[in-house]
Amino acid sequence: MSTFSELQIDLRQMIIAIETAVSLVGMNDTNHGKRVGYIASQLGQRLGFSEQDIQFAFDLGLLHDCGVSTEQMHSNLVNHFDWQDSHIHCQIGYNLLNNFAPLSAFAIPVLHHHTPWEKLQDINISMQNARMANLIFLADRIDVLAAPHYESDILLARKEIVESLLKHSGSYFDPTLVEAFVEAEKCESFWIALEDRHVTRFTWDMGKYKSERPLTIPQLKQLSMIMAYIVDQKSPFTAQHSLRVANLAKYLGISYGLSHLQCDKIEIAGLLHDLGKLHTPDHILDKPGPLNNIERSIMNQHSYETYEILRHIQGMDEIARWAAYHHEGLNGAGYPFHPNEKDLSIEARIIAVADIFQALVQDRPYRKGMSPDGITAILDNFVQSGKLDANIVNLAKEHQMKCFEIARGNMSENSITAERSH
């Protein structure tokens, strides 16, 4: 078994990575979670929160929209002050966080972060959870109203924003929180700090406050599964793609004879490899035909986005490269880095094969899922062109039916792991 000391990953840095990924859904507005976290932390300071509660409020701001995967949902949340279906992403976020112990304390506030204050009074939750949920609701609406004015006239628009929110004091928002906002916003710095270049620096400064305990490998896997779920919900055609790529890559790693730790890290990289697709427009992912040159150029950016999300997490440098290289070819014909063949590790080569294999198994908007023989024929063509590693493809062909069943989701992780003992 691998020892946890061989992989030390900080929870706060992973929370920042989740926010970075989820905020990509906003397309041209990719710092919403950071701004909500900043606003919540500033109001917490104004209210005399403990340092622990200020940190909690900041992290909650980063996590509050973890249930948002599509452009349409993001657009509705931004364009309506009280969208009737806002509860959907709150419930998804709750479900994702509640069963993961290191983040379970955020689940109830996330569930209620669009619940009006007057209704929160009738719900059987603690006052602390109710206050944190409402703090995020207020911070979220402050940012939504302010967003059109950043980098331009935010200091002129602030009066209108305050007046708008004061109308909802006591109904949507706890009057105490609104009063704290009215006091905090009198400082121009409150607003200026919300502009992209400043709030990004603030977030990375907060990232220096490390969690008390690093994540164990099982916890990191579970958190990676949460992130995989978020990205796979982006399109109905990619449901469970990341999970099945991870399982197949792990199986190939085991079959290749890699160590427990390498196989664990390959699995994590597989779960995270498509995070950057959260920044790919929905209509491109769901297009029922070939992409045009512009659409293809946009699609080809997603693996770099994955790299940017992961590379800032200390201890994840190898995993970041393996995940981001899943469209690279040994012949330099892939994208977006074009590494030399010697720089494509065996782990990255395994994930590349697993990604193509699983994608060919799934129904996509432009074709039906393929048969095992059809898949291996395409893999052979990629070997002949110099794109894929022949040894890995031969390994997949040797275990063709087992790989096919894993790619279809018909084998559990326990069954895959048991292969090591055979």
Q: Looking at the annotation, which residues are catalytic?
A: 277
* Other C-beta atoms lying within 10 Å of the C-beta of residue 96: 23
Question: What element of type H or E holds 158?
Answer: helix 154-166
In whole angstroms, give the CA distance from residue 384 to residue 389. 10
**Tokens 């602390």, located at residue:** 128
From residue 209, alpha-carbon distances to 21, 46, 47, 213, 422 in Å are 20, 20, 21, 12, 44
